[in-house]
Homo-oligomer: A and B are copies of this chain.
């Protein structure tokens, strides 16, 4: 009645009944390999989150297009009201007048207000007063988004491309390396690795939380090699490389840390599939003495050399 601590139980919250070859629960970048069907667009929508998460190029394009569109709309309004109700309009053709209205709108929404062109009658004044308020509110929004974009913490952890099965003390171990290339300090870093294996005969997957040499470090100044020693109690014990492939193994990695620069807890996820493991390779030691401290060559995170397995 208390299956909670059993190893083959799934406390990850992932589905256990999907077995076809090549199933991957987590993509390399840590996103879930899941599609949600029949969620209404509005329900799924999170405007702030989308605008904060999109690339800078996309974000600035959205802003520029929005600015352009709003000015088109307001220029049309001023044109409908009649250009004779704005001072300082010189254009006589509709296109010239529209252009002048467009730039008057731009000067109004940014609260620039050169004053060369200015509203004269009630309608034009009402539109301009509304536009300047709208401008301020949109700008307030942009400010919030800018801050949201910059202050959004994100774990900057980089994973070694491959994991290895290498000799570890008297036995062997499953190992991969992580590195923090940014200047952000990550503190109290916790890691968990769960192994998902397909059962031989049924259509179910088992999930095994792997025992690690160390599940938490206080500091993470540079690089950390995470080691699962393959003891007799390990689900990997006695398995060959080909058996691990047949069982369609997936090592699901979750890292949690406190990012001191953002004063926030951040998470990082990734996964290694069976074919992303190098057997009989060992990660090369990279730390060198430098002054009174040490120096580490971060670009060599993937460097391995052959090592005879125990």
Contacts and interface: CB of A to CB of B under 8 A. Distances in A.
A221 B192 CA distance: 18
A108 B132 CA distance: 10
A32 B219 contact: yes
Given A265-B263, A295-B37, A11 B216 contact: yes
Interface stretch (A76-84, A117-125, A276-284): A117-125
B222 A36 contact: yes
A222 B33 CA distance: 11
A18 B181 contact: no
Nearest to A209: B218
B13 A221 contact: yes
Contact of A35 (B11, B181, B290): B290
Interface stretch (A150-158, A159-167, A238-246): A150-158
Contact of A137 (B43, B87, B142): B142
Interface in A281-309: 285, 287, 289-300
B217 A11 contact: yes
A295 B35 contact: yes
Contact of A18 (B110, B184, B294): B294
A146 B146 contact: no
Given A4-B214, A12-B219, A67-B133, A113 B107 contact: yes
Given A36-B298, A43-B182, A24 B129 contact: no
Contact of A106 (B2, B17, B132): B132
Nearest to A155: B260
A126 to B, nearest CB: 8
Interface in A178-204: 181-185, 187, 189, 192
Taking residues whose C-beta sits less than 8 angstroms from the other chain, chain A's interface range is: 35 or more
By DSSP majority rule, is chain A's interface helix, strand, loop, or mixed?
A: mixed
Nearest to A35: B295
A63 B118 CA distance: 25
24 contacts: A4-B213, A11-B218, A12-B218, A13-B224, A14-B221, A32-B221, A33-B293, A34-B296, A35-B294, A36-B181, A36-B296, A37-B296, A49-B261, A67-B133, A87-B116, A106-B132, A110-B136, A112-B112, A112-B132, A113-B114, A114-B119, A136-B142, A137-B142, A141-B146
A154 B93 CA distance: 53
Contacts of A23: 289, 292-293
Contact of A150 (B148, B217, B293): B148
Interface in A1-42: 1-4, 9, 11-15, 17-18, 20, 22-25, 32-39
Contact of A34 (B14, B114, B132, B293): B293
Contacts of A296: 34-37
B150 A147 contact: no
